[in-house]
Amino acid sequence: MKPFLEKVVVADDASWSMVRALRHPNVPFEWHHHPEFELTLTTNSRGHRFVGDHVGTYDDGDLVLLGPHLPHTWSSSSKINEDQPHNVMVIWFRPEWARGLTELLTELKPINAMLERSSRGLQFSPQASDRVRASIEAIFDKRPADRLMDLMAILLSLATDEGAAPLSAPNKAPLATEAPGSRIDRVLEHVHKNYRDEIRVADLKELAALSTSAFHRMFLRHTRLTLSEYVTRLRIGEACGELIAGDRPIASIAEAVGYRSLANFGRQFKTLKGQTPREYRQRFNAGRAGQSNRATKVVGPADT
C-alpha cells in the first residue's frame, strides 16, 4: 500500500506549521508521508501507531518525532476520558528551517543529532513527554513570536532525552553522518547496496581502512547497532514494506530480502517485531480498513 502525500500549508505569519485536531469519533487510519519533520503529541487516546515498518500501541501522552517522508499514521481504539475527544497536536517544520536555525544559532546545535535519529521515528520517554506536554498544549494559543521561542525550547529539551527510542528500521538511503567519503559513509553505502546478500566484515573493514575491532567500535558508535543487528533491521524493514504493499507470498518476500531459510526469516521477524509476518500483515490491513483512496490531503494553517 502506497502512502499518500500530505501537503502541509504554512500560515502567513509563521515559518512553520501546526494543527490541533479534536477527533470526537476516532483518530482515523491515514497512511501518509510529507517532506517536513513532524512532532506529534496524542492525548486522551489509546490505539495503534504505524511508523515505517513499526506497528505498536500508544497511550495518553504519546510523543513522537518523525523525519521527512517517513510513512506513518495513528489509529485509535478508545479514549481515556469518554466525555472528551481524542486530541492530536502536530507541529511540522521543514529540514531547511531546522538547518538554518542550527547553523545560525550555536545554542541549538544539540537538536541536530535528534533530527538525524528521527529518520527512523523517535518515541520520547514518558518523562520527556511530561516535561514538554504543557508547553506543547499551550503553544497553540500564543502569538507567533512566542510560539517560535517555545518551539525552540521544546526541541532543546527533547534533544536531551536519553530514553528516546527509534521506532522503524534504518532507512535504505541513510543520511550522511560525516563529510562525504568518510569511513562510515563508505561502509553504509556498501551495506545498503548489498544487505540482501552476504555482508563480509573483511570487505567492510577494508573499506574503512580499520582493524576488525576498530571497525566494530566505529559502526556501533555511529549506528548504535552491531553490524548483524543493522543488516537484520534493513532486511526486516524491507520485508515489512512488501507485506503491507500487497499479497505477495511470504516465502517469496523472505527470499527477496536475503533469507534462504523461511524458518530463520520467521524467527528473526518475530524477535524484532513481536509477531509473525502473517500477523503483521493482518494487523496492518485491519488498521487501514475503511481508509479512503485519496491520493493527496491538504492541511490548513494552525487550528487555534
Condensed to tens digits (0 to 9), the pLDDT of residues 176-187 reads 444 445 788 788
Q: Could you tell me which residues come within 8 angstroms of residue 159 by beta carbon, excluding any fewer than 6 positions away?
A: 110, 111, 113, 114
Burial of 79 (0-12, 13-18, 19+ CB in 10 A): buried
Same domain, 39 and 109: yes
Q: Amino acid identity of 170?
A: P
pLDDT at 65 over 80: yes
Residue 57 placed within a domain: yes
Q: Does the structure show a pLDDT above 50 at 298?
A: no
Euclidean distance between CA atoms 83 and 80, whole angstroms: 9
Q: Which residues contact 90 (CB under 8 A, 6 or more apart)?
A: 18, 19, 20, 21, 38, 39, 40, 41
Q: In terms of domains, do 191 and 162 share one?
A: no
For residues 78 and 47, is the Cβ–Cβ distance under 8 A? yes
164 shares its domain with 188: no
Same domain for 12 and 154, yes or no, is yes
| Domain assignment of residue 162, yes or no | yes
The answer to whether position 17 is within a domain reads yes
Residue 78 domain-assigned? yes
Query: Cell numbers 512488501 correspond to what residue?
Result: 242
Q: Which DSSP state fits 52? A: T
* CATH value at residue 218: 1.10.10.60
Name residue 236's amino acid.
I
Q: In this structure, is residue 176 part of a structural domain?
A: no
Number of Cα atoms under 13 Å in the Cβ half of residue 229: 10
Highest mean pLDDT of the ranges 67-71, 236-240, 258-262, 292-296 = 258-262
- Res. 304: pLDDT tops 90: no
pTM of the model: 0.69
3-state SS class at 137? helix
Torsion of CA 204, 118, 73, 14, to 10 degrees: -140
User: Do 196 and 162 share a domain, yes or no?
Assistant: no
Q: Are residues 9 and 94 in the same domain?
A: yes
294 C-beta neighbours (distance < 10 Å), count:
9
Contact 102, 108 (CB under 8 A): yes
Domain count of the fold of the chain: 2
pLDDT grade for 287, boundaries at 50, 70 and 90: low
Condensed to tens digits (0 to 9), the pLDDT of residues 106-131 reads 999 999 999 999 998 999 999 999 99
Range of the domain at 221: 183-288
Question: Which amino acid belongs to residue 100?
Answer: G
Confirm if 7 and 298 have CB atoms less than 8 A apart.
yes
Evaluate if residue 297 carries a pLDDT over 60: no
Name the nearest CA neighbour of 39 among 205, 153, 191. Answer: 153
Write out the three cell numbers for 187. Answer: 561502509
Report the C-alpha gap between 267 and 3 in whole angstroms.
28
142 touches 150 (CB < 8 A): yes
